[in-house]
Structure 1
């Protein structure tokens, strides 16, 4: 089986941290962009969410980490605290399943009770079933609908309970999506549909909460549990580092406003952000690119 191909922007493809998104100014204290900021990361106990959590704590933010497993969260908390560098770490953990509406409501309540505000929310929790057989051969709930429940309903739950707080701070909301939303990959219907709908949902977040900077961000193709489980040919395409999406998220949410023009749109961590700004900003803003629509050429 060959990997699916998709059209891409003509910018340099990045697979690891590069100079334009280097987080060193945040880590060293040269920039206080994240000092006093409260960051909430869902799906924070491993992989991409853990890497993002580590970068925020190293940048001096106050951090709340949410995942389903209390045991995994305890290990993750110890890890990010050990990586805090010169900043005094302030980390809260809450166990919750993003597909459980009441659990998300309670988790957000605890974060607000502890910190009093929210500045940045990362909706990273997600799952995928194996891309190995037609959807009619999968269990309609545990393999197909459950994927939509976690990836789409879970993101909605997070948005529902955090956006009122982000409105108050003109904060940032980042949903981790996938380039799979842009291709027709065989046997990937549940995952691709969930991520396509997620992208569209973020467009509505931007419309209904215009003061919040909202992004649906493809993190790259990384050797995570979900990728290994889902994609039979993962070894050929999982070439990106965990640090790439973490550094990209920091750059998008650092409060400088430099990339606020991407709000409400799909963006890939693989795209060189400097080149995206230089070569594509005008077209993206004026021609309505990077949103979900029917295109006739």
Structure 2
């Protein structure tokens, strides 16, 4: 296991500048018009990170399709984009990602509206209250799995055929929690860890056709993090624009070498590119791996 793997294993400690807000490498002005002609499909798009990301992509010239459960909040996001970015193309469909038929219908509506899908931001998620395995309410624990695993599978299943056609991008919004264990968050952290492996499967099955990232959005204060309580909120110090514009950068092409890997919004991507690209690619790093003692390595 290389140093780069060790840094990835605790999520945040890649030896680059830690970012918490917009920085030079993700300045919105860098991406003005860069996504003209592209279509982005965003789940969990009605609030928080999803809404900010939809706005960033619209500002960068993409046509945006919004998917979330509540029509009223979807309309609010659409109206805000229409007001702030005149000429932006926005459509939406009320979608519960746990329900396969609704995800299928949303994808069909996106194709009907815009003709294709170039980018998917799979952002819907859920988290349980902090409870040990013995304390957890079983249905609530499994509901986190339903949203975070079944939901992401449904989005992947129905959008991948379209992404293959466009040689597009799939971003799973996961968490640094995927990389370590905090007692009481077994459902949330294990499901986010699953998304790392899903990204690796997408790469294995569609390498050359689809780029995919398992993306930690930083510690952003959202309704979900607020519901988790003060133990989580103390880490929520990042501006929501950090993940939004980092995702815009990730689909520009320069970070394609990170496809199939865990990526953190807190990493300065300019420094990652200049200092760590070669060892990351060489060691096939930033992926889930099993470490065994050197004495047990095959000769």
Is this a same-fold pair by TM over 0.5? yes
Equivalent residue number for residue 218 of structure 1: 216
Q: Distance in 2 between matches of 1:118 and 1:9?
A: 32
Q: Distance in 1 between matches of 2:34 and 2:291?
A: 39
Q: 1:268-297 CA distances to partner (integer Å, 9 max, x unpaired)?
A: 000000111112111111112110111246
Equivalent residue number for residue 16 of structure 1: 21
Maintained 8 Å contact 1:222/1:241 = yes
SS of corresponding position for 1:194: helix
Q: Distance in 1 between matches of 2:21 and 2:292?
A: 34
Question: TM-score, length-normalised on structure 2?
Answer: 0.92
Q: Please report the RMSD computed on the Cα atoms of aligned residues, expressed in angstroms.
A: 1.3
SS of corresponding position for 1:153: helix
Q: Distance in 2 between matches of 1:6 and 1:119?
A: 28
Q: Distance in 1 between matches of 2:214 and 2:249?
A: 14
Equivalent residue number for residue 112 of structure 1: 111
Alpha-carbon shift at residue 253 of structure 1 (Å): 0.6
1:287 to 269, 283, 286: 283
Maintained 8 Å contact 1:223/1:234 = no
Q: From the superposition, tell whether residues 168 and 61 of structure 1 become closer, same or farther in structure 2 (CA, over 3 Å).
A: same
Q: From the superposition, tell whether residues 219 and 43 of structure 1 become closer, same or farther in structure 2 (CA, over 3 Å).
A: same
Question: TM-score, length-normalised on structure 1?
Answer: 0.92
Maintained 8 Å contact 2:116/2:162 = yes
Maintained 8 Å contact 1:41/1:65 = yes
Equivalent residue number for residue 174 of structure 2: 177
Whether 2:243 is the aligned partner of 1:242: answer no
Whether 2:90 is the aligned partner of 1:91: answer yes
Q: 1:241-272 CA distances to partner (integer Å, 9 max, x unpaired)?
A: 00000110000112xx2110000000000000
Q: Distance in 2 between matches of 1:6 and 1:120?
A: 25
Maintained 8 Å contact 2:70/2:94 = yes
Whether 2:165 is the aligned partner of 1:154: answer no
Equivalent residue number for residue 76 of structure 2: 75
Equivalent residue number for residue 198 of structure 2: 201
SS of corresponding position for 1:89: coil
Q: From the superposition, tell whether residues 184 and 289 of structure 1 become closer, same or farther in structure 2 (CA, over 3 Å).
A: same
Equivalent residue number for residue 58 of structure 2: 57
2:189 to 188, 192, 200: 192
Q: Please identify runs of 4+ aligned residues in structure 1 that moved more than 4 A.
A: none
Q: Distance in 1 between matches of 2:156 and 2:118?
A: 13
Q: Distance in 2 between matches of 1:83 and 1:55?
A: 11
Whether 2:270 is the aligned partner of 1:274: answer yes
Q: Kindly tell me the number of residue pairs found equivalent between the two proteins.
A: 283
Q: Which runs of 5+ in 1 are unaligned?
A: none
Structure 1, 233-242 or 184-193: larger mean CA deviation: 233-242
Q: Distance in 1 between matches of 2:70 and 2:43?
A: 12
